[in-house]
Amino acid sequence: MSRIVTVQDISCVGQCSLTVALPIISAFGVETAIVPSAVLSTHTGGFKGFTFRDLTDDIPAIVRHWQQEKIDFDAIYTGYLGDAKQIEYIGEMIATLLKKGGKVIVDPAMADYGKLYTGFDKDFVREMVKLVAQADYVLPNLSEATFLLDEPFVESGYDEKYIEGICRKLCALGAKNVVLTGVSFDPEKVGVAVYDGHKTEYYFRTREKRNSHGTGDIYASAFTGAFVNGKTALEAASFAADVTVEAIRATNDDPSHWYGVKFEKVIPYITKNL
Alpha-carbon distance of 117 to 119, in angstroms, equals: 6
Q: What is the pLDDT of residue 7?
A: 98
Alpha-carbon distance of 221 to 175, in angstroms, equals: 19
Contact criterion met (CB below 8 Å) for 43 and 126: no
Overall size of the chain counted in residues = 274
Question: Which H or E run includes 9?
Answer: strand 3-13
Q: What is the pLDDT of residue 118?
A: 87
Q: What is the pLDDT of residue 179?
A: 98
Question: For 125-145, what is each residue's pLDDT tens digit?
Answer: 999 999 999 999 999 999 999
Q: What is the pLDDT of residue 196?
A: 97
Nearest to 260 by CA among 14, 13, 7: 14
β-pair partners for 116? 111
CB atoms within 10 A of CB 17: 25
Q: What is the pLDDT of residue 140?
A: 98
Q: What is the pLDDT of residue 124?
A: 97
Q: Which residues contact 64 (CB under 8 A, 6 or more apart)?
A: none
Q: What is the pLDDT of residue 192?
A: 98
Residues of the chain with pLDDT under 50: none
Alpha-carbon distance of 272 to 87, in angstroms, equals: 36
Alpha-carbon distance of 31 to 107, in angstroms, equals: 19
Structural domains of the chain in order of their starting residue, each with its CATH number: 3-256 (3.40.1190.20)
Alpha-carbon distance of 143 to 91, in angstroms, equals: 24
Q: What is the pLDDT of residue 210?
A: 84
pTM higher than 0.95, yes or no?
A: yes
Q: What is the pLDDT of residue 211?
A: 83
The gap from C-alpha 70 to its chain's centroid, in whole angstroms, comes to 27
Question: For 53-108, what is each residue's pLDDT tens digit?
Answer: 999 999 999 999 999 999 999 999 999 998 999 999 999 999 999 999 999 999 99
